Amino acid sequence: MPDRVTLQDVADRAGTSRTTAHYVLTGRDREMRIAEETRRRVLRAANELRYRPNLMARGLRTNVTRTVALVTDAVASEAYAGALVSGALAAAAERGYLLFVCETGEDPLLEEQLLAQLLDRRVDAYLYATFFTRDVEVPRALQGQKVALLNCVDPAGAWPAVVPDERAAGRSAAAALCEAGHREGIWIVGEPAEKVVAGAERMQGIREGLSEAGSQIAGVVPAQWWPESAFEQFGDFLDGGGRPSAVICLNDRIALGVYQALTARGLSVPDDVSVVSFDDSDLAVWLRPALSSIALPHREMATEAIRLLLDDGEVRPGPVRVPMPLRARDSIAPPR
Amino acid sequence: MPDRVTLQDVADRAGTSRTTAHYVLTGRDREMRIAEETRRRVLRAANELRYRPNLMARGLRTNVTRTVALVTDAVASEAYAGALVSGALAAAAERGYLLFVCETGEDPLLEEQLLAQLLDRRVDAYLYATFFTRDVEVPRALQGQKVALLNCVDPAGAWPAVVPDERAAGRSAAAALCEAGHREGIWIVGEPAEKVVAGAERMQGIREGLSEAGSQIAGVVPAQWWPESAFEQFGDFLDGGGRPSAVICLNDRIALGVYQALTARGLSVPDDVSVVSFDDSDLAVWLRPALSSIALPHREMATEAIRLLLDDGEVRPGPVRVPMPLRARDSIAPPR
DNA sequence: TTGAAAGCGCTACCAC
DNA sequence: GTGGTAGCGCTTTCAA
């Protein structure tokens, strides 16, 4: 058996022409009304020779490669991004597509080079993704290509996009606290300005949710979105006499800092203060007590984006908002 | 300007033959002694037309695609794997290669399908990776391909492989404690049997390191490699009167559980007990006090594997062991 | 129902 | 130094 088996080899062995072999091997024998007997011979020959089509030759001819590119600013900076990649991988594989992954590090020059490489390989479609939800400008090289934005949007709304529904998530956080009976002393920890989109939308949702329940924010303890900053700022707040009934942390890492500050002062979650947070990272289940958190649905977002890209059906520009489910755990209790 | 510019278009515009254009565009004009003036014309024409070679056509001809596949069992399960992907991405991009990423979920059938897809696309080289360091059997489909194992080894040692040097890491952990003055009461937390390779090799290195310093393990507190298990097992150990001088946690998540158990009992790190750990995940810097941990060098491993695969130079089968650096932070102090 | 033939865009050999 | 030409393996049109 030769190293590289061509369609011609299969045809020869089946005693037929390349055309005939081609039609049966691409499953279009019905429409060509190929004799059943011929069909069998071709199939058997292909099998015996372990024929595999050369997708480069096919691609050169048809200009389709059955490949998708995931172009992202960062794939590894923090825990969650993996689910974005993994979801895209799985959804693409299901459809018989392979995924090129690229990381631009927000370097425009590198991005340009990477896109050129992708274009040169005639990639069929592009997932343009960001690690943090934010506005992006779609690179000019991608004009005219099939593109879906993942975890980002273009301000003009000209491209299809998939983002988490942060505002609804904010309402969920508020609702989780209100359902447990909290109305007073609900504090936010985190710097809403920092992660522009996520922070602002989460805040807006929280305000709306609280207001619907006849409540409102007691105040904001500003902190960077990191454990240490939250530990210090929230610690200062406690030391200054702050006694919240419940705390909404703008993400899980902030919640870790809040836990640490509370523990250091002999205060208990959820007996002294209830805590709810966003992201549902690994941390949430590791904390004691386990943290109720509203999940960033990275896997679902990636699946949806691949669906927009590869399944036919009309694709409207503008963002699709994917729900962020509350993972209720042990950090919320009625106010004392 | 037509949508798809071919080499012929460039040649036409430069008023030369396709061959000539080809040689100057592939940088082999020197060896062909092309006139400087001709060279310029070709380059200018290519620029003006924004010529980009069709890599599928080239690949069909030369049978090289300048693509690499990263085939892994899981890309997203936990925090670290991102660095594996990111490192491979960067190292491949540096060399002008693009990376296909595949996730098999340890499903042999899926793996077979994915490999077939990759083979059909004439991928140049394969990185066969696992999330946890372990033994693997290289799939038959990969026989005859250019392969490097990443974070795994084949028992026969027939393939080049890159793994972390866990044994040396164990010695580093022991050394870190001994240098701080610890000799007695050094306990291990973690179930050595669990993560077969990492656990066993870390333990072996620890024993060696301790023994060289004239010390030895006081005992092992068995625990699953998760915070909750460590919290409970180590908590029971403390409640049973255990008073370690220092603790070596078999990974950072165990260290988190140990911190929690210590804190719950009013014991302090590092004043009451010193802690050192493995993996250096994000957790390590988030903990209070920041955890000294021995890093899994995922990025370096990926870089090294790509180097083995793509840079020429003889590649010997068998594993390359990449050093695991100690990230010294605040969790180690002299014994009290 | 099957076969011959053209051609996708590129590389590389060979003759001039 | 330059240009013609064959052919990589496949798809697809057209004729038989």
- Residues A216-236 have pLDDT tens digits of 999 999 999 999 999 999 999
Distant-in-sequence, close-in-space partners of A194: CB < 8 Å, separation ≥ 6: A224, A225
Distance from CA of B247 to the nearest CA of A (A): 20
CB B251 within 8 A of CB B275: no
Distance between CA atoms of residues B40 and B47, nearest Å: 10
Only one residue has tokens 């109305």, namely A183
Q: What's the pLDDT score for residue A222?
A: 96
Question: A22 beta carbon < 7 A from strand D?
Answer: yes
Distance from CA of A117 to the nearest CA of B (A): 8
More confident residue, B80 or B298: B298
Chain B residues with CB under 8 Å of A78 CB are 79, 82, 282
Please give the structure tokens belonging to residue B66: 């300048």
Select the residue of A75, A93, A121 nearest B85 (Cβ to Cβ).
A75
Q: What's the pLDDT score for residue A316?
A: 84
Task: List, in order of start, the domains of chain B with CATH numbers.
Answer: 7-53 (1.10.260), 66-163+298-322 (3.40.50.2300), 166-297 (3.40.50.2300)
- Please answer yes or no on whether B55 and A120 come within 8 Å at the CB atom: yes
pLDDT class for B194, splitting at 50, 70, 90?
low
Distance between CA atoms of residues A226 and A231, nearest Å: 9
pLDDT > 70 in chain A, percent: 97
Q: Which residues face B160 on adjacent strands? A: B318
Side-chain-facing half-sphere of A22: CA atoms under 13 Å: 6
Give the CA B69 to C1' C5 distance in Å. 37
Give the CA B61 to C1' D5 distance in Å. 15
pLDDT class for B75, splitting at 50, 70, 90?
confident
pLDDT exceeds cutoff 50 at A2: no
Q: What's the pLDDT score for residue B2?
A: 47
Span A291-317, mean pLDDT? 93
Question: Tens of pLDDT along B109-159?
Answer: 999 999 999 999 999 999 999 988 999 999 999 999 999 999 999 999 999
Distance between CA atoms of residues A336 and A334, nearest Å: 6
- Please answer yes or no on whether B54 and A120 come within 8 Å at the CB atom: yes
pLDDT class for B80, splitting at 50, 70, 90?
low
Give the CA A7 to C1' D9 distance in Å. 8
CB B68 within 8 A of CB B124: yes
Span B164-180, mean pLDDT? 98
Q: What's the pLDDT score for residue A1?
A: 39
Chain A nearest-CA residue for B252? A286
pLDDT class for B1, splitting at 50, 70, 90?
very low
Only one residue has tokens 């690499």, namely B68
pLDDT class for A33, splitting at 50, 70, 90?
confident
